[in-house]
Amino acid sequence: MLETLRKIVQEVNAAPDLESVLDVIVRRVQRAIRTDVCSIYLLDRQRERYVLMATQGLNQKSVGRVSLSVEEGVVGMVGQRAEPINLEDAAAHSAFTYLKGTGEKKFHAFLGVPIIHHRTLLGVLVVQQKLIRKFDESEEAFMVTMSAQLAGVIAHAEATGSILQISDHTKNEADRKFEGVSGCIGVAIGPAVVMTPLADLDGVPDRKVDDIKAEVATFKRALAQVRRDIKRVGRSLAKRLRSEERELFDVYIRMLDDNALGGEIIARIKAGSWAQGALKQVIGEHVQQFSMMDDPYLRERATDIKDLGRRMLTFLQESGPALSEIVFPENTILVADELTPAMLGEVPTEKLVGLISVHGSGNSHAAILARSMGIPTLMGVVDLPYTRVEGLNVILDGYSGRAFINPSDDLIECYQEVIREEDEVNAGLEGLKELPAETTDGYRMPLWVNTGLIADVARALDRGAEGIGLYRTEIPFMIRDFFPSEQDQMETYRKQLEAFAPRPVTMRTLDIGGDKPLSYFPIQEDNPFLGWRGIRVTLDHPEIFLVQIRAMLRAAEGLDNLRIMLPMVTSVREVDESKRLIAQAVEGLREEGHNINQPLIGVMIEVPAAVYQVRRFARRVDFISVGSNDLTQYLLAVDRNNPRVADLYVPYHPAVLKALQFIVLEAHKENVSVSICGEMAADPAGAILLMAMGYDVLSMNATNLPKVKFALRGISFERAKTLLNEIIVMGDADKIQAALSSRLKELGLGQLTRPAIPD
Ligand code: PEP
Ligand code: MG
């Protein structure tokens, strides 16, 4: 059964559109269960009806025509109860409704299972049989497994289908919504520009061309080059193939030679597609034909065709316009499968208003960069058929982590209002730079920044930051192809230290692993977040650690504003070992004649084990800093980068708030100062609570600093403490969030909460 399941899923995955996806499912499931009928009813949300979308065994003419309301029939019951219903004679059931024109009268046995994707009901998968009998347990289990596995494919195909209809203007579906996770808050509206890495056939976006003649000529030129290349490849492969294999290879050499493939592609170009898109479609179809073949050898040939396609694409891309020649429209929203910092650099900043990445996380390098530039960003929008959205209008909502493709005028107006409000708020905050973050009753809260790039420094100073609470040193490591030398590191660090001197600069030692890999130091692990990350890596590689510490110490020579911070610490042993290595570096440099002062040393509290050892740590170090991003992830056991569980990642969870308060109280018992450098400090409501808890420093991205300052200047310390006392006893994160928003509004700080945006 497992093998059948695997094959069906594979075949379904290869199907090009929703219709074919559904068709493959009903045909293959019917055959696998040896039943008379298999059908799929998809839920049409607008009409609140299940529509028969594919069938094997019922009257084909009824497909697309027959539907039943969500409360009707056994199908309706399956959807309402969200569980399988297995009946030996459906007609005898009180809920049964006969669907006219389908010819289902002669079928008795019925098994329906809901198709659910991310808690959303998509439809119902049904099998029926003439016999009066119950489907057995293994059949039921097969159907449930099938439906669970196919739900994602159906959702994706549905999304792609509706996007296609939008781009072809065959359907005016508006407000098509896709969910992701926020990489940077804010709202952007504009046309999508899809960017792909070179020679990635799957990633080629659909794009129309006006000058068809020129496009055909471009393609023919590329084809001539490809022919030569393919023949060369063919010759070298032919030597290693058996004669029957050689024949097959000759076939697709001929496919190029006699213009068959070329002809197909040219026909698509003539229909208006750009050459790369036409190539992708044609190759895709041929690949699919091969991958459907039963013979495993022939199936494997799909890979060869794909390879040919990639070669052609390389030539086409070489002869196509360079990225720098692409004219980016005003208000570009850049869309990519995996956004990279290099891509960010391709778009002129004055044209770029938003970023969408299908993969990646709110913590990925590109998202961190986007935050430091203040560009609204969505990450992990996994269901977005990104190659199909080129040129379509998009609303990017970085507050709720949603993108709307082809939004309606009403929705655009709604979001334009949000942008206007944001602009007003930001304009009002500009005058705050020179003012202190002081509450109405005179409590002074130091506001520091998180940095990673040298560009962050200027922004941070411009916004009135009083120190750096977290310099993510892994970022300069990530932009390179190999470990930077001590001298390189020293120069980079010096820029941060110098720009802020005499204000303090907290440099975190290399925090790689987890979701922050270095291309030149790959770490393969099943559970990277519970694996070799942060201090664990650097203590296992003292040579890397020592070089970095030496570079930091040398960079701070004569400035004396360096604080060194250790990430992901779980035990005192790690602190002691790190201190020993830092002392060794200090001593070594002094022996070499450098004038090195002992830096302040601190640890990050990022895991539950550290929370319960704060006092022990505090006795060993000069400061404590809470990494609330990781702490939230580890306390709640929710991957901070996984869009699937993003709604469970709640910084205002009562357990997180309790832990945050406990940390301050414990550290203060040892008279050690505590800062926080996770994203929570960047949220105005979070900042108020953290101040009330007693945090000595709040460190955040420069973009949010003025908002936080405004919030703290708009409340008294006493009022903040009352608010904390009210919140800390609450047991539900949603209620806490709602209470915070409403209190902020009462205080006249409503404009700092998440803007009122439609659901
Ligand atoms: C954190 O975990 O809160 C933190 C500040 O570090 P990073 O986000 O870089 O993991
Ligand atoms: Mg962290």
Mean pLDDT, rounded, for 752-757: 66
Q: Describe the crossing of helices 409-429 and 705-713 by its angle, rounded to 10 degrees.
A: 70
pLDDT of residue 166: 58
Pocket mutation for ligand 1, best pick of 448, 472, 701 (most atoms within 8 Å of C-beta): 472
Tokens of 177: 């919504």
What pLDDT sits at residue 239? 53
Q: Is the pLDDT of residue 642 over 70?
A: yes
pLDDT digits 0-9 by tens, 676-706: 999 899 999 999 999 999 999 999 989 889 9
Q: What is the pLDDT of residues 227-248, one digit of tens each?
A: 776 666 556 545 544 555 455 5
Q: Say whether pLDDT at 530 is over 80.
A: yes
- Residue type, position 688, single letter: I
Q: What is the DSSP letter of 404?
A: E
Of ligand 1's listed atoms, the one at least distance from the Cα of 363 is 8
Residue 283 CA to residue 484 CA, distance in Å, equals 42
pLDDT digits (tens, 9 = 90+) for 143-161: 999 899 889 888 888 887 7
Give residue 740 CA to ligand 1 midpoint distance, Å.
Answer: 24
> Which residue has the least CA distance to atom 3 on ligand 1?
627
Q: Phi, psi (5° rounding) for residue 593?
A: 100, 5
Cα angle, residue 531 at apex, residues 525 and 537 outer, rounded to 5°:
105
What secondary structure, in 3-state letters, does 520-565 show? Answer: CECCCCCCHHHCCCCHHHHHHCHHHHHHHHHHHHHHCCCCCCEEEE
**pLDDT at residue 493 greater than cutoff 80:** yes
Structure-model confidence comparison of residues 304 and 309, the more confident one: 309
What is the C-alpha to C-alpha distance for residues 647 and 668, in angstroms, rounded to an integer? 33
Report the b/e string of 287-323 with b at 16+ CB within 10 A.
bbebbbeeeeeeeebbebbbebbbbbbbbbbeebeee
pLDDT category, 249, cuts 50, 70, 90?
low
Q: Ligand 1 site: residues with CB under 6 angstroms?
A: 363, 470, 472, 511, 606, 627-630, 677-678
Ligand lying nearest the CA atom of residue 368: 1
Q: Is the pLDDT of residue 42 over 70?
A: yes
Ligand 1 atom closest to residue 472's alpha carbon, by position in its atom list: 9
**Which residue CA neighbors atom 1 of ligand 1 most closely?**
627
Could you tell me where the beta strands, DSSP code E, fall in 380-536? 393-397, 402-405, 447-451, 468-472, 505-508
pLDDT score, position 459: 86
Phi/psi region, residue 347 (left: phi>0; alpha: psi -120 to 50; beta: rest), is beta
Structure tokens given for 208:
């129309």
Q: How far apart are CA 467 and CA 501, in angstroms?
A: 9
Which amino acid residue places its CA nearest to atom 9 of ligand 1? 472
Ligand 1, from 453, 506, 515, 604: best to mutate by most atoms within 8 Å of Cβ? 604
For residue 575, the CA-to-ligand 1 centroid distance in Å is: 18
Q: What is the pLDDT of residue 245?
A: 47
The strands making up 176-179's β-sheet, listed across from edge to edge, are 176-179, 402-405, 393-397, 187-195, 332-336, 352-357, 377-379, 181-184
Q: Which residue has the tokens 């190029």?
A: 256
Task: Tell me the pLDDT band of 256, cut-offs 50, 70 and 90.
Answer: low
Rounded to whole angstroms, the Cα distance separating 581 from 549 reads 9
Confidence band for 399, pLDDT divided at 50, 70 and 90: confident
Q: Worst-scoring range by mean pLDDT, 185-189, 219-223, 683-687?
A: 219-223
Q: Of all protein residues, whose CA lies closest to atom 10 belonging to ligand 1?
A: 630
Q: Which two tokens stand for residue 407?
A: 């939004």
Residues that are catalytic = 365, 677
Given a contact cutoff of 8 angstroms between Cβ atoms, the answer to whether 378 and 400 are in contact is no
pLDDT at 318: 72
CA angle 264, 267, 272 (to 5 degrees): 135
Q: Please tell me the distance between residue 651's alpha carbon and the centre of ligand 2 in angstroms.
A: 14
Confidence of residue 328 (pLDDT cuts 50, 70, 90): confident
| Mean local confidence (pLDDT), 590-595 | 97
Best probe residue, ligand 1, of 453, 473, 606, 674 (max atoms within 8 Å of C-beta) = 606
| pLDDT beyond 80 at 299 | no
| 606 C-alpha to ligand 2 centroid (Å) | 6
Ordered by where they begin, the domains of the chain are 2-160 (3.30.450.40), 178-183+324-422 (3.50.30.10), 199-320 (1.10.274.10), 439-750 (3.20.20.60)
What six digits make up the tokens of 706? 């003025």
Q: Give the closest residue (by CA) to ligand 1 atom 6.
A: 627
Q: How far is the CA of 324 from the centre of ligand 2 (A)?
A: 36
Rounded CA Rg of the chain = 30
664 pLDDT above the threshold of 50: yes
Residue 533 CA, ligand 1 centroid: distance in Å = 12
Q: Ligand 2: distance of its center to the CA of 568 in Å?
A: 7
Q: What is the pLDDT of residue 119?
A: 87
512: left (phi over 0), alpha (psi -120 to 50) or beta: beta
Model pTM above 0.85: no
CA dihedral (737, 741, 747, 753) positive or negative: positive
DSSP string across 44-96: ETTTTEEEEEEEESS-GGGTTT-EEETTSHHHHHHHHHTS-EEES-GGGSTT-
Confidence of residue 209 (pLDDT cuts 50, 70, 90): confident
3-state SS, residue 302: helix
- 727, 704 contact by CB (below 8 A): no
How many alpha carbons lie under 13 Å from residue 270 in its C-beta half-sphere? 7
Is residue 402 over pLDDT 50? yes
Cα 742 to middle of ligand 2, angstroms: 30
Residue ID of nearest Cα to ligand 1 atom 8: 629
Q: Determine which residue's CA is closest to atom 4 belonging to ligand 1.
A: 627
pLDDT value for 565: 98
* Mean pLDDT to the nearest integer, 377-390: 90
Nearest-angstrom CA–CA distance, 504 and 448: 9
| β-strands 176-179, 402-405 pairing | antiparallel
Beta carbons of 722 and 696 less than 8 angstroms apart: no
Pocket test for ligand 1, best of 515, 677, 700 (most atoms within 8 A of CB): 677
Ligand 1 atom nearest to CA at 626: 3
